[in-house]
Amino acid sequence: MTGLILREAILPRMDGIRRNVGKLRRLAQLSEETFLEEDNLALVQHYLRLSLEGVFHIGQHILARLPGARATEYRGIAQKLGEFKVVPLEFANRHLVPMAGMRNILVHQYADIDVDRLRQILDAHLDEFEQFLSFVADLMKNPGRLGLETN
């Protein structure tokens, strides 16, 4: 075995992602007028950022236990999660890489956050968090498939 996945590092993050995605789902139900209120937009950005941070924290924790899999930037984490079969490669490229880009926009405010993009994420992309969590849960049940253990 090459590494130990620490449940105390993973499980609270998984719970946090679930809670934050639940809050995002509730915000997605708001009328357009209410959604556009400044406080609601700030909440969407906050819960989305926390969810994305959780994904990449989990990803970094797992990759750090795989020889040659460390990544120093979020896009690299996304790519290596697919390359090292933590998640399917297509899922990593199609969903995690764009998540990394959105995380950087939210954290570093490289550009004004496009309200239409936020609405699109809420309407069409929240299930991707659930998919990621299911891949992590499967790994936690069978870490030996990657030569890992859990505590």
pLDDT digits 0-9 by tens, 57-79: 999 999 999 999 989 899 999 99
CATH number for the domain harbouring residue 36: 1.20.120.580
pLDDT confidence of residue 111:
57
pLDDT digits (tens, 9 = 90+) for 2-38: 589 999 999 999 999 999 999 999 999 999 999 988 8
CA torsion sign for 100, 12, 125, 136 is positive
CB neighbours of residue 2 within 10 Å = 11
Burial of 49 per CB tally in 10 Å (0-12, 13-18, 19+)? middle
Indicate the residue type of 101. G
Structure-block tokens of residue 72? 């120093």
pLDDT band, residue 99 (cuts 50/70/90): very high
Count how many domains the chain has: 1
What's this model's pTM, rounded to 2 decimal places? 0.93
* Pick from 71, 63, 72: nearest CA to 139: 63
pLDDT digits (tens, 9 = 90+) for 111-145: 578 889 999 999 999 999 999 999 999 999 999 99
- Supply φ then ψ for residue 90, to 5 degrees: -60, -40
Give yes or no for a contact between 51 and 21, defined as CB atoms under 8 angstroms apart: yes
CB neighbours of residue 19 within 10 Å = 14
Range of the domain at 96: 3-150
Mean pLDDT for 87-105 is 95
pLDDT confidence of residue 113:
80
Q: Give residues with Cβ within 8 angstroms of 53, minimum separation 6.
A: 103
